């Protein structure tokens, strides 16, 4: 099966280039192969070319016709894996859970959860006016419905 061959070739590529990792690999009924990759230090065009060649050069078009697309995870795409969160520590994230929305700086990320920190204006405990307070939230990945890096210019 084409998908199995592609998965094995992709595994080998990522073993040899361990700063890169696979986000998704899909093969549709028309044998269009779409591979989305990310990297601990980002992904260059040359990284995409290298992954594409490593897979394409090991498949036989005479045996099975196919098209191949290798792309990097887009900046507007949600973060899906702990490794993606780890590489974005220090950046501002928008995170949705089942019941709440958070926007804060990603302070830490491990295999189980992330920690966000942000400043909020809240009413003073005594008297009139507001005070700025530091807030934080620790969110297990299981509770995160969607997380995106907030792009600022």
Give residue-wise pLDDT tens across range 113-145.
999 999 999 998 888 899 999 999 999 999 999
Per CATH, the architecture of 82-149 is what? Roll (2.30)
Domain ranges of the chain: 2-72, 82-149
pLDDT (average), residues 55-74 = 92
Q: How many CB atoms lie within 10 A of CB 22?
A: 16
Q: Which of 110, 26, 70 is nearest to 138 (CA)?
A: 110
- What number does CATH give the domain 2-72? 3.30.300.20
Structure confidence at residue 74 as a pLDDT band (50, 70, 90)? confident
pTM: 0.83
């Amino acid at each position: 099966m084409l998908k199995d061959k592609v998965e094995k070739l992709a595994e080998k590529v990522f073993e040899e280039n361990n700063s890169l990792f696979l986000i998704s690999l899909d093969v549709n009924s028309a044998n269009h192969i779409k591979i989305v990759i990310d990297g601990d230090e980002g992904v260059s065009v040359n990284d995409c070319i290298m992954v594409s060649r490593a897979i394409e050069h090991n498949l036989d078009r005479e045996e099975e016709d196919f098209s191949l697309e290798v792309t990097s995870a887009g900046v507007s795409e949600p973060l899906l894996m702990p490794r993606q969160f780890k590489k974005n520590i220090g950046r501002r994230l928008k995170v949705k859970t089942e019941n709440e929305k958070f926007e804060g700086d990603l302070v830490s990320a491990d295999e189980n959860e992330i920690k966000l920190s942000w400043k909020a204006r809240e009413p003073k405990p005594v008297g009139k006016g507001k005070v700025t307070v530091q807030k934080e939230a620790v969110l297990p990945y299981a509770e995160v419905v969607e997380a995106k890096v907030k792009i600022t210019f």
